Every structure is written in structure tokens, then in C-alpha cells.
Amino acid sequence: MASQDTTEVLDNILDRFKSQDPVNTRSWFEDLMAVQFSGGLLEIACQDEAKAQFLYDNCLVGFTKAAQNATGHLVSIKFSVLSGEPAPKQLSETAGKKTRLHPDYTFESFVVGPCNRLAHASCVAVSNALGTTYNPLFLYGNVGLGKTHLLHAICHEAKKTLPAAEFEFLSCEEFVNSFVRAIEKGSLARFQSQFRNVDILVIDDVQFLREREQSQEEFFHTFNALYNNHKQIVLTADCPPGQLPSLEDRLISRFKWGLVTRLDAPSYETRIAIVQKKAHLRGLSISEDIAEYVAHKVKANIREMEGALTIIYATAQACDEPITLELAQQALGHNEIAGKKQISITAIIDAVTEYFDVRLADLQSKRRSQSITLPRQVCMFLARNLTRHSLEEIGGHLGGRDHTTVLHACSKIGDLKQNDPDTRAQLEELTAAITDPK
């Protein structure tokens, strides 16, 4: 067990991290435990694999720096899992595997309102009785209304209540890519056994299944195999099955066999509750009037509401001021992303290519000269920070690079942002050009 000193070191690290990176701070950091601190290695344990993975992905660099500042020594950090679950693997080892569960996306952190009550209830029911209640479960709705969140929540819950259940959770794009890879490598049998022998298959955004492609045929057979074995299937899309543009009729009819449920945009009251929930998740308490202000500013897309909160924290941090209504109004006042448009990777690429005077083709090429590498990495960093695209999607836009490359770019530029004032100024200028184009 950790000594008093070690626990103090951890508290000190958490305080530093919180002020340095409020966006990645979570209220569950309170439950982190310092397991041991010896030979320059500090081991920090958390409750489950999803949390450990979050720490790896978002906090390793920040924690390491905070630890060095707190102790005045070189310290390396290791994250482990308390509950006896396997410790997370290094990222390179998880490359190409299924989607990782995000610790923020649980049923507890999902606010239920009239807009999503049925979808939420059906997801809870499914996660407690795989394959026997609604099968398949098909959720649809506009972007940013919580479909992906609910999918993660189902998997978290199923892991808790049915620890032996095998699940595969991936985006439709990942399903198609992994099918294409399997064909190229001649490992179709392995692909089929990977997807046809699970207890629950969760596929996000099936609107990306393409017409007359072999992957749709493969998906059809996967669906049948699972369905006939009473295994759970959960799917999402941005429209109901009948309106999916390139889907074959036989798949559309299968998608309707179970329960099809819609998510609507949240009402004002639900939006207020969501803002408060999100702030709480980050260990912040914001007053009622700020929550009302954000809920009033951003209406259609919950993801944008989170973006608005992030802008408020970042502004408070930059000005070193407490979060007040006035500060929130200032922060969002100039910022028209609230309630208006969502930032696209294309907008980021446009701004970066113009700023650095390079061409998109260069960014997508294999060239590794510094004049190309830097703008490419800046694109990745901004896409990661200003959009909700996955690492895979970001890599896809920049010449089909894999998610470890994107992650490396984000950490490198993140480091530069902290340590190099020129880079920080460049990033601020670019962010302003992207979020508030003239």
C-alpha cells in the first residue's frame, strides 16, 4: 500500500493536472490510488480498464510532467487497474482492435428526458438481457444526440452484469475496413469467427454500408448468424432503416425485426441537466445561471454544448479567473460555434494548408520533410481537439495513417503547445480562423 507521502504526491499531481488541463480532468480522479512509488516509477491504479485507457490516451504526458514538477525528479507513471481486470495494453498493441470503451459514456452520465427516454430504456433492457428483449435494437437520430454514448453504455453495463459476455463494438467504417483487410490477407475465416461468435455485436453509423459492396453481403451473413443464435445486435444510423440510401431491402427488413427507436433533440430543461452533468463529470460545479445560459445558446447538438463548456473552462484557465456567468458570456459571446455550425476536418485542413502554404496532396502524401510533417501533425492535433472524429477517421483524411500515428502527432503538438510560445500562438491563430471564420 502507498505511504502517506506517496498519496500526497498523487494529490499534488492531481491538483497540478487539474489546473493545467481542465478539459481532461474527471471527477473520478478522486478515486485514483497511488499503489507504489519506487525507483522513479509511480504506479497509479483506477477502477476499470476504460478509465485506465482514458488516462493513457489523454493524461500520461500531463501526469508525468505534473509528477516531475511535484517531486523535482524525473518520474515515470504507470497506470493499472484495481478490479483485477487486465491492465491496458500499450496503444500499439491495441492497434486495429475493436473500439475502446470511453469511461465518460455510461448510463449514469446519460441524462434521460422525453427526447431519449425510449432509446435509453431499450438500451438498459438490452444490456441486462442480451439477445432476448429487443433484437436487433436500432437507434437513429441526428448527429450529436447520444447514439454513440448509449452504445458505449450498453457495453459498460453488459461487462458489469455479464462479465463473460464477448462483445465487438465498432463503427461501420471499422467493420468495412477490417473486412477489406481480411480479404487482402486471406484471413476471411478469422474475420468471420471474430464477428459471428460474439454475444453482442454493436455497430455504429451503419449508414456507411455501401451499396453492392461485398462488405454489405458479409454484414448480412454476420447478422443472420448472430440472430439465429439469439445473440444481441445493436445498430445506429442517422436515419430510420427504410431511409438508408444504399441498403439492400433484405437488410432493411432485418433491421426492423426488433425495435427501432429514435432520439430527438433535447428540450431546454434536458439541456440544462446535461450541461450540469458534463460539468460534474469534470469535477466542476457551475451555477444554475451558467447552465441555463449554455442551454440557451446551444440548441440542437449536445456535442456542441460540450464544446461550449470547453471554451468556458479554457477561457477561465487562460484568464486565471473563476467561472462566472459574465466570463461564460464573454467566452461564448464571440464564439459562434455555439448553436451554429459543427467544425469539419475539411475546414481544419483548409485553414492549415493556407496557413502553412502547403497542398492537401502533400499532407496526404508519404513525404516526411519537416515542412510537411509539421502542418500534417497540426491538422491531426486540431482535428482531435476541435471535432469528435475518431483517431482512425482523422488518420483517414490525412492519407490513411493509422491511429497510433495520429496519437503521436497529438502528443507531440500538445507538448509543443505547452513548451513553445510560437507554436502556441500559431495554434491559437489557427483555432480562431477555424472556429470563427471571417
For residues 148 and 301, which CB has a smaller minimum distance to Mg ion in the complex? Answer: 148
Instruction: Kindly write out the interface string for residues 137-176 of this chain, putting x where it contacts ligand ADP by CB under 6 A and - elsewhere.
Output: ----x-xxxxxxx---------------------------
Contact segment (CB under 5 A) with Mg ion among 100-108, 139-147, 163-171, 207-215 equals 139-147
Instruction: Kindly write out the interface string for residues 286-325 of this chain, putting x where it contacts ligand ADP by CB under 6 A and - elsewhere.
Output: ----------------xx--x-------------------
Helix (H) / strand (E) containing 127: helix 117-128
Residues 301-310 as b/e (b if ≥16 CB within 10 A, e otherwise) read bbbbbbbbbb
Grid look-up 445561471 returns 289
Residues 6+ apart with CB under 8 A from 369: none
Q: All 3 cell numbers of residue 240?
A: 430510420
Contact segment (CB under 5 A) with Mg ion among 4-12, 134-142, 143-151, 157-165 equals 143-151
Shortest distance in whole angstroms from residue 148 CB to Mg ion? 3
Beta strands in 130-258 (DSSP E): 137-140, 167-171, 200-204, 232-237
Residues in 76-105 that interact with ligand ADP by CB under 6 A: 105
Among 6, 135, 148, 178, binds Mg ion (CB under 5 A): 148
User: Binding to ligand ADP by residue 274, rule CB under 6 A?
Assistant: yes
Query: For the CA atoms of the chain, what is the radius of gyration?
Result: 22
List the one residue out of 304, 363, 307, 314 whose CA is nearest residue 144. 304
**Residues contacting ligand ADP: total by CB under 6 A:** 18
- 237 within 8 A of 172, measured Cβ to Cβ: no
Contact segment (CB under 5 A) with Mg ion among 35-43, 147-155, 178-186, 356-364 equals 147-155
For residues 27 and 371, which CB has a smaller minimum distance to ligand ADP in the complex? Answer: 27
Residues 6+ apart with CB under 8 A from 390: 99, 171, 403
Backbone angles phi, psi at 335, to 5 degrees: -110, 105
For residues 110 and 313, which CB has a smaller minimum distance to ligand ADP in the complex? Answer: 110
Shortest distance in whole angstroms from residue 160 CB to Mg ion? 22
Count of CB atoms within 10 A of residue 320's CB?
A: 7
Shortest distance in whole angstroms from residue 62 CB to ligand ADP? 21
Shortest distance in whole angstroms from residue 319 CB to ligand ADP? 25
- 220: phi > 0 → left, psi -120 to 50 → alpha, else beta; which? alpha
Among 110, 138, 227, 293, binds ligand ADP (CB under 6 A): 110
For residues 148 and 216, which CB has a smaller minimum distance to Mg ion in the complex? Answer: 148
Inter-helix orientation angle 288-297/268-281, to 10°: 120
Residues in 116-135 that interact with ligand ADP by CB under 6 A: 116
User: Binding to ligand ADP by residue 384, rule CB under 6 A?
Assistant: no
- 40: phi > 0 → left, psi -120 to 50 → alpha, else beta; which? left
Q: Quick one: what does residue 116 bind among Mg ion, ligand ADP, none, with the CB cut-off 5 to 8 Å set by partner type?
A: ligand ADP
Q: How many CA atoms lie within 13 A of 72 on its CB side?
A: 0
For residues 238 and 248, which CB has a smaller minimum distance to ligand ADP in the complex? Answer: 238
List interacting residues with Mg ion (CB under 5 A). Answer: 147-148
List interacting residues with ligand ADP (CB under 6 A). Answer: 105, 109-111, 116, 141, 143-149, 274, 277, 302-303, 306
